[in-house]
Structure 1
Amino acid sequence: MAGAFYGSPMPVVLVYYVEYKYILKIELSKRCVMTDLFLVVDDNQPTRALIGEFLKTLGQSYEEAENGGEAIKLIQSRSFEGIFLDILMPEGDGFEVLNWMVKNNAILPTVVFTEAKARFDMDFPSMAEGLGALKAFDKPVTLEKTRTALEAMKTFRQS
């Protein structure tokens, strides 16, 4: 399935976007335990470390996954406040993670950081938002973008 979205039309799952966002808001409002633990998913270790440093600077803790397959295993075994997700990765890309979350009702606010638009003439950030990501940013990752992502996750949980 890796790479299935490169050059092919968006999957039918986009039809459920509005309904999925509504379900996310309802389910997240039921959660009362805040873990302050975030998942950082990127195949590039320096990018994971940079996001991790920004999160620590902002008083948050994090765990790392280097691909979508690892991310899904961690989501199944731990509780996270949210996910920072890259799109283009081997062994399970970001779209596969977002699709898995929809299919398995994994209720986690997700923010996408990607450089895919620079490498391909496709608007992957908008595509990710169409699959349920709260926000999508082009790389490079900055402290301000990380702060904005955390604020979006917090606002989403409170709504």
Structure 2
Amino acid sequence: MRRMLRRMLIADDDMHLRKLVSTYAELEGFQCQEAENAQEAIDLLDKTDFDILILDIMMPGKDGFEALAEIREHSQIPVIMLTARSEEYDKLLGFNLGADDYVSKPFSPKELMARVNAVLKRTGSAPNMILQFGDLRIQIDARLVEIGEKTINLPPKEFDLLVKLAQNEHIVLTREQLLETVWGYEYHGDTRTVDSHVKSLREHLGDRRKLIQTVWGVGYKFEYRE
């Protein structure tokens, strides 16, 4: 597969929150690094190129506002700030310092990822969202699947399922993970829903059906070999 790798830095002193965001971001095709305080985030930004920064405001030592002001002296990386407060002053200060968006705690990880993708598109930082596996081509923004010169018309959920698996090539995704990320975290359905959609998706893919492999007792993975 040939696609652009997206890198995310998550700066928050709450380890469990960092892991939660990282889990959902990786399912969206991001490679994540974590920082437990503002200074560590600043140091990582000096050493590594990231596509977006998730920055908590309330951290020990430097807070998010101080970190953002320092970062903006030399970087225009898109920044989404996390806050447990909803005061208008805080948001205005963050925007004046150069924040691209705000998310208030507690938040839905899916909403955060939607905001991440919206910010990347708005700032022109989003990569060309095309996944290519041999003659299978997935145009994410256009919601178009092609095999060679043939267009494959997939129902919406099958398309979303194919994208999720393809974005996580070689990674086994459990049925529960697929339910949460494709059908929605609040979806209360039987995991057999995933199985039935995978079966239908394979039928639509025809000769390329073997790209989606069953990992018995666990879930599914997308596996392409030239």
TM-score, with normalisation over the residues of structure 1?
0.70
What secondary structure is seen at the aligned counterpart in 2 of 1:113?
Answer: strand
Give matches, 1:33-72, under 5 Å. Answer: 35-72=5-42
What secondary structure is seen at the aligned counterpart in 1 of 2:54?
Answer: strand
Q: Which amino acid aligns with 1:89?
A: M
Query: What is the percent sequence identity of the aligned residues?
Result: 29
* 1:27 matched residue in structure 2: none
Between 1 and 2, higher relative CO (CA 8 Å, sep ≥ 6) is seen in: 1
| Deviation by residue 1:74-106 (Cα, 9 ceiling, x = unmatched) | 000000001001001012211111110122x21
Q: Give the total of aligned pairs.
A: 122
What is the CA distance between 1:35 and its match in structure 2?
4.5
Which of 116, 119, 134 does residue 152 from structure 1 map onto?
A: 119
Q: Which amino acid aligns with 1:141?
A: F
Q: Could you tell me whether the CA contact under 8 Å between 1:35 and 1:81 is conserved in 2?
A: no
Return closer, same or farther for 1:73/1:158 CA change in 2, 3 Å cut-off: closer
Q: Could you tell me whether the CA contact under 8 Å between 1:116 and 1:122 is conserved in 2?
A: no
What secondary structure is seen at the aligned counterpart in 2 of 1:157?
Answer: coil
* 1:132 matched residue in structure 2: 98
What secondary structure is seen at the aligned counterpart in 2 of 1:39?
Answer: strand
CA RMSD of aligned residues (A): 1.9
Between Structure 1 and Structure 2, the one with more helix by share is 1
Q: Could you tell me whether the CA contact under 8 Å between 1:35 and 1:80 is conserved in 2?
A: no
Larger Rg: 2
What is the CA distance between 1:150 and its match in structure 2?
2.4
Q: Could you tell me whether the CA contact under 8 Å between 2:5 and 2:29 is conserved in 1?
A: no
Return closer, same or farther for 1:158/1:106 CA change in 2, 3 Å cut-off: closer
Distance in 1 (CA, whole Å) between partners of 2:61 and 2:125 is 34
* Structure 1, unaligned runs of 5 or more: 1-33
| Deviation by residue 1:18-40 (Cα, 9 ceiling, x = unmatched) | xxxxxxxxxxxxxxxx6511100
Runs of 4+ in structure 1 over 6 Å off: none
Distance in 1 (CA, whole Å) between partners of 2:47 and 2:64 is 19
